[in-house]
Structure 1
């Protein structure tokens, strides 16, 4: 049977939880060893993912310089950032009461930790911030010089990184998640974690619906149309994204529905493919909510300044990740570790929680692209868009 990533993750969680009830400690230590090695490999790949995704994306975007690009990119980034801020404030208001005093159960100081038998050190070639600065420098340089050799080389490097994710990281992720849940069950933590998962997923789904309605209420005056009618027109794109789990793969449907909504073909043809790369409201909303919930469960500080820094960097780091199911969470792991201080277990829980809702975040992203296209359609009349 060929299963997509989400069913495999869910199966891994169930089997890991059930086997953890009867598995001996040595079995948990074997999985802890695998997880330690995989975590090292994941840490090694993070700078590669950032450079491989971000540099070619900036080079491609920068090659389309002009007012239309600048305004579209600014609106998309503001929408992404505000979705993250909305998620943060909603989480700070609701998560403490939902999770309720369970953080002490989640991370018990007296819990027995299953240590790996050994690990293999794979230090990354550079830090996350170094990778991000390097990606920006190379991306802007390639866009400015408009050369082909370096751009082609980085396009091939992006393909190598993408292939590594598809062939090595994603197939091993269910085993990694299995090991985490097996060990959490042995250590007696899994029941509370799963209960919190369900509460968080419900809140995030409600947030996705709210952010879409809000985006179309903002876009409606620009288009002089009913926001709910506009949202209804974009629903085929939403449901297509639920199936594909990829903003890039949904572009044809998003483009068609945006034109049906009244956006001119030339504007839709520019804005929709661009926003499929840079507009990540749904993914950012979900990453912020999941990260905040885990920090509350682990009783870690989560002030507004810290999350503003995280959200601001996240909106840049995850561009060009939508082509791969789960690509956004892969690209954000470095920020979770460097800015929010996530450890290996928190990263694994983050991946499991994110992928459990991956298709809903993608659907929110692509549906919101239509709202941005409607705004741009009004800002740039036919004469302006041809300049």
Structure 2
């Protein structure tokens, strides 16, 4: 097994999980559920530490140009999220009236698989707190005198510790974690029942998410001149990891490795990948736009542009409040769904069900898109450095 790469292990984990769930041996599935609970809590604990250990030194190493890089990355992530929402809107406007013609607002009660026991591992701080702290530390160090390296050295040592935890604990256990998730989903039957209720919208969402990945890499590879298919292939381990973890933040270690395969500078990877895992949720946006439009059409409401565009703009901001939590995108958007689109409690419950049924694929779209943004930012930094170098040479 050691000789197998991460991608084959992930595929085997998915297939094994489905098999165990199909067999229906509940004690084994509960054992997996117990492991997943413990492992998930540990991931939740380590994620803020990952963000601090990668983002802060990454910003600091970039020096004063980090100020502009932070703005560029955040702006690009927001633009990408809004574009994904608009693509979903126009596709939904054209196709959803046919897809939801016989839409049934029904759901099926599933059997719950509970763990044998659970242990709570509270986070030292919240995800957003960690992100803001990383910004403050990184930008502060980047704008401090060169000789004052004490804090930077501490952060780099801390980064090495977190890297060892990732390399020797998290990555080896991720295939087991994914196997357990698929075993539980299969045994409970939640995914199948939800797909039956929302099949048309579900498949539209999946198709649009794949199309959007292809669009992102078309732009990124055209801009950077990197090989198109190779760049996408290198991100497949992150894509499949995200399908299992349902968490962009939990997939950060694998996303970092995949971005290295695309020959992106280490400083850019350490900065862009953890940052985008928190602020770039284009896959969730596609789901939340198409799903809400489907529910509106099913109840006789026309989701026109005047109604949906402000909602899409707000989604781009609200998604920042949904980091690292499976299903966090829809939870963060519930206020918008209720206040801006006037969805009732039953519709909100169905929206949650739809979102959770495809959350794995939406997360996979998020993290794969992060790799495209990293390519663009890396190329932008290279071109900026080359321009400055040429100016200095001319002078």
Q: Tell me the TM-score normalised to structure 2 length.
A: 0.59
Pair 1:266-2:267 in alignment: yes
- Superposed CA RMSD in Å reads 3.7
Match in the other structure for 2:246: 245
- The answer to whether the Cα contact below 8 Å between 1:282 and 1:362 also exists between their aligned partners in 2 is yes
Question: Could you report, residue by residue, the CA deviation over 1:313-339 in whole angstroms, capped at 9, with x for unpaired residues?
Answer: 111112142311111111100000010
**Cα distance, 1:222 vs structure 2:** 2.3
Equivalent-residue separation in structure 1 for 2:210 and 2:90 (angstroms): 16
Match in the other structure for 1:227: 228
Pair 1:331-2:332 in alignment: yes
- The answer to whether the Cα contact below 8 Å between 1:201 and 1:357 also exists between their aligned partners in 2 is yes
- The answer to whether the Cα contact below 8 Å between 1:244 and 1:359 also exists between their aligned partners in 2 is yes
Relative distance call for 1:83 and 1:73 in structure 2 (3 A) is: same
Q: Secondary structure at the match of 1:318?
A: helix
Question: Could you report, residue by residue, the CA deviation over 1:178-209 in whole angstroms, capped at 9, with x for unpaired residues?
Answer: 9xx9xxxxxxxxx9x97550111111111111
Relative distance call for 1:296 and 1:262 in structure 2 (3 A) is: same
Equivalent-residue separation in structure 2 for 1:336 and 1:342 (angstroms): 6
Moved over 4 A (4+): 193-196, 382-385
Match in the other structure for 1:257: 258
Pair 1:205-2:206 in alignment: yes
Equivalent-residue separation in structure 1 for 2:243 and 2:353 (angstroms): 17
Q: Secondary structure at the match of 1:300?
A: coil
Could you tell me which runs of 5 or more consecutive residues in structure 2 were left unpaired when the two chains were aligned. 1-17, 22-47, 60-65, 107-127, 141-187, 389-395
The 5 A counterparts of 1:45-194 are: 66-100=67-101, 102=102
Match in the other structure for 1:46: none
Equivalent-residue separation in structure 1 for 2:195 and 2:245 (angstroms): 26
- The answer to whether the Cα contact below 8 Å between 1:213 and 1:227 also exists between their aligned partners in 2 is no
- The answer to whether the Cα contact below 8 Å between 1:213 and 1:228 also exists between their aligned partners in 2 is no
Q: Secondary structure at the match of 2:320?
A: coil
The 5 A counterparts of 1:236-315 are: 236-315=237-316
**Cα distance, 1:227 vs structure 2:** 1.5
Equivalent-residue separation in structure 2 for 1:299 and 1:94 (angstroms): 15
**Cα distance, 1:75 vs structure 2:** 0.5
- The answer to whether the Cα contact below 8 Å between 2:195 and 2:202 also exists between their aligned partners in 1 is no
Equivalent-residue separation in structure 1 for 2:234 and 2:382 (angstroms): 22
Q: Secondary structure at the match of 1:357?
A: helix
Count, aligned residues: 259
- The answer to whether the Cα contact below 8 Å between 2:78 and 2:280 also exists between their aligned partners in 1 is yes
Equivalent-residue separation in structure 2 for 1:200 and 1:75 (angstroms): 28
Q: Secondary structure at the match of 2:342?
A: coil
Match in the other structure for 2:216: 215
Q: Secondary structure at the match of 1:66?
A: helix
- The answer to whether the Cα contact below 8 Å between 1:76 and 1:372 also exists between their aligned partners in 2 is yes
Equivalent-residue separation in structure 2 for 1:89 and 1:383 (angstroms): 36
Equivalent-residue separation in structure 2 for 1:296 and 1:310 (angstroms): 16
Q: Secondary structure at the match of 1:249?
A: coil
**Cα distance, 1:289 vs structure 2:** 0.9
Relative distance call for 1:382 and 1:226 in structure 2 (3 A) is: closer
**Cα distance, 1:225 vs structure 2:** 2.0
Q: Secondary structure at the match of 1:341?
A: coil
